[in-house]
């Protein structure tokens, strides 16, 4: 049964129904009922519904809430959307009184409300998951504050750093991902309920009181904005997408690091998969799918932006599909954080030492300390590198003579600078790749978390 049969002479065609009814919004049933509870209480307070009837409506809505939370709330094929289902069920329980539920309300402000309530719940949940992910990574970083690996630029070995430093880079990224959801939570603190179909109501409703009851900070200032805008949905998807994109970078590194060539990490058998054909294989599928699923989030963000583009005010049915994109993206991040965090919890890192070449900058900096301009020092070490390469030797094979041939200001003891562990030990700059820095970061991060 539709909410709008009055002016129609025939029932909706099956084709129309199948095309226009998208059951995704069933996921909003709890939000829809909570909004209805606040709405009914307000209608009673302002005298639009007698208090006795308000009590009956509230009791019915409490029954619905229990059904929804237990997963037993039943949707019928004839329910056009979640709002219709809730109203239909309230009428089943209360009879004609239920027909007052929709007083001074429209599905347009109702859906705007439901989606906001969903995003507040989801945002909080994603923040919790990002915190767990960060804590797992911090645990690994603490274990590897002294394990030396190459930091890469251009995917070429660049400088020696603790593995913990590399892992913590992702924790800082995750913290920003988390704070994006926090920022959004402020903007989500505006209730759209009371905007009605888009222009408000001639009835003396009090949107401020439903807003307060639902935990919003304030109420909308413009009813057309309240029902017609979906920028906050796009913003939630953007928060999800940037987090997914960040995780896809970690995922790619985990895939690389678990190759025979890198040999940095192994994952627990329970978090890897095998090959149906190749008996020796152990595949990091969670990481591969995490990398791949960032594509879906980017797709959802693009779709959500495009859905708004050029759309006239206020509500248009196009906006029904915001939920498709919102839920798809949000589910991707939820699943990815759960799976990646679990996989990381099973990780054992044992990376080989970096190539001695990563200490080249230390040699140049030794000259700088003796007053040599950096550019000159860079060239001197460049000459050394070039002559060693020409002879097929590594930097760790450089002799005192090689050094002094490259620049007279090298001292014999400088050969000892070609040591990847020492390179990390000598690192003193704030936030740089040193063991002390890893420990400082972990302390700071633990405070922030
Ligand atoms: N089901 C719609 C949505 O999800 C809400 C109803 C909007 N109003 C209407 N007259 N169809 O966006």
pLDDT in tens, 113-159: 999 999 999 999 999 999 999 999 999 999 999 999 999 999 999 99
Give the contacts of 34 (CB within 8 A, at least 6 positions apart): 65, 117, 214
Is 102 annotated as catalytic? Answer: no
Which one of 117, 193, 315 would you pick to mutate in the ligand 1 pocket, going by the greatest count of ligand atoms within 8 A of its CB? Answer: 315
Q: Is the pLDDT of residue 277 over 90?
A: no
Which stretches of 258-284 are DSSP H helices? none
Residue 83 Cα to ligand 1 middle (Å): 9
Nearest residue to 326 via CA among 303, 359, 345? 303
pLDDT of residue 5: 81
CA dihedral 57, 60, 65, 66 (to 10 degrees): 150
E strand or H helix that includes residue 77 = none
**In which residue are the tokens 């226009």 written?**
20
Which one of 107, 114, 115 would you pick to mutate in the ligand 1 pocket, going by the greatest count of ligand atoms within 8 A of its CB? Answer: 107
| In 318-414, beta strands by DSSP E | 348-349
Q: Which atom of ligand 1 is nearest to the CA of 82?
A: 1
pLDDT of residue 275: 86
Residue 108 Cα to ligand 1 middle (Å): 6
Percent of the chain with pLDDT over 70: 100
Q: Give the chain's mean pLDDT.
A: 97
Catalytic residue among 154, 202, 276, 429: 154
Which stretches of 218-359 are DSSP H helices? 223-228, 231-257, 285-308, 322-345
Rounded distance between C-alpha atoms, residue 418 and residue 415, angstroms: 6
DSSP track, 113-158? HHHHHHHHHHHHHHHHHHHHHHHHHHHHHHHTSS-EEEEEETTEEE
Residue 121 Cα to ligand 1 middle (Å): 21
Is 275 annotated as catalytic? Answer: yes
Output phi, psi for 157, to 5 deg.
-60, 125
**In the structure, which protein residues have their CB atom closer than 6 angstroms to any atom of ligand 1?**
25, 81, 107-108, 111, 315, 317, 319-320
Q: Cα dihedral sign for 423, 424, 427, 428?
A: negative
pLDDT of residue 299: 98
Residue 293 Cα to ligand 1 middle (Å): 29
Q: Is the pLDDT of residue 108 over 80?
A: yes
Residue 21 Cα to ligand 1 middle (Å): 10
Which residue's alpha carbon is at the smallest distance from atom 4 of ligand 1? 320
Q: How would you classify the pairing of strands 348-349 and 265-266? A: antiparallel
Catalytic residue among 179, 201, 236, 275: 275
Range from 6-10, 374-378, 396-400 carrying the lowest mean pLDDT: 6-10
């Amino acid at each position: 049964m539709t909410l709008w049969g009055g002016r129609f002479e025939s029932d909706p065609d099956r084709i129309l129904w199948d095309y226009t009814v998208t059951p995704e919004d069933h996921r909003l049933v709890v939000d829809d009922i909570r909004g209805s509870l606040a709405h009914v209480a307000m209608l009673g307070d302002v005298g639009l519904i007698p208090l006795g009837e308000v009590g009956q409506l509230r009791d019915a809505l409490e029954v619905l809430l229990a059904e929804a939370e237990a997963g037993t709330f039943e949707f019928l094929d004839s329910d056009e959307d979640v709002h219709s289902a809730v109203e239909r069920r309230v009428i089943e329980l209360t009879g004609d009184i239920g027909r007052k539920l929709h007083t001074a309300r429209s599905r347009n402000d109702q859906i705007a409300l439901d989606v906001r309530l969903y995003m507040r719940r989801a945002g909080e949940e994603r923040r919790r998951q990002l915190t767990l992910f960060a804590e797992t990574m911090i645990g690994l970083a603490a274990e590897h504050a002294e394990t030396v690996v190459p930091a890469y630029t251009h995917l070429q070995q660049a400088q020696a750093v603790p593995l913990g430093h590399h892992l913590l880079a992702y924790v800082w990224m995750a913290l920003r991902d988390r704070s994006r959801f926090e920022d959004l939570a402020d903007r989500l603190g505006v209730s759209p309920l009371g905007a009605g179909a888009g222009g408000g109501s001639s009835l003396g409703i009090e949107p401020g009181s439903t807003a307060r009851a639902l935990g919003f900070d304030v109420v909308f200032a413009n009813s057309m904005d309240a029902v017609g805008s979906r920028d906050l949905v796009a913003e939630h998807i953007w928060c999800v997408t940037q987090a997914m994109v960040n995780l896809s970078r970690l995922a790619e590194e985990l895939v690389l690091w678990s190759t025979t060539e890198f040999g940095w990490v192994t994952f627990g058998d329970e978090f890897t998969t095998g090959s149906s054909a190749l008996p020796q294989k152990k595949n990091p599928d969670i990481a591969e799918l995490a990398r791949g699923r960032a594509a879906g989030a980017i797709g959802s963000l693009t779709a959500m932006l495009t859905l708004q583009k050029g759309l006239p005010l206020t509500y248009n049915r196009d906006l029904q599909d915001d939920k498709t994109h919102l839920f798809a993206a949000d589910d991707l991040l939820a699943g990815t954080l759960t799976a990646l965090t679990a996989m990381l919890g099973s990780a054992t890192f044992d990376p080989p030492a970096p190539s001695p070449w990563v200490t080249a900058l230390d040699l140049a900096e030794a000259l700088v300390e003796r007053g040599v301009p950096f550019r000159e020092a860079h060239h001197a070490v460049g000459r050394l590198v070039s002559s060693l390469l020409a002879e097929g030797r590594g930097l760790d094979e450089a002799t005192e003579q090689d050094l002094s041939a490259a620049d007279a200001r090298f001292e014999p003891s400088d050969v000892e600078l070609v040591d990847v562990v020492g390179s990390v030990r000598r690192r003193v700059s704030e936030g740089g790749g040193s063991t002390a820095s890893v420990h400082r970061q972990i302390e700071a991060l633990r405070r922030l978390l």
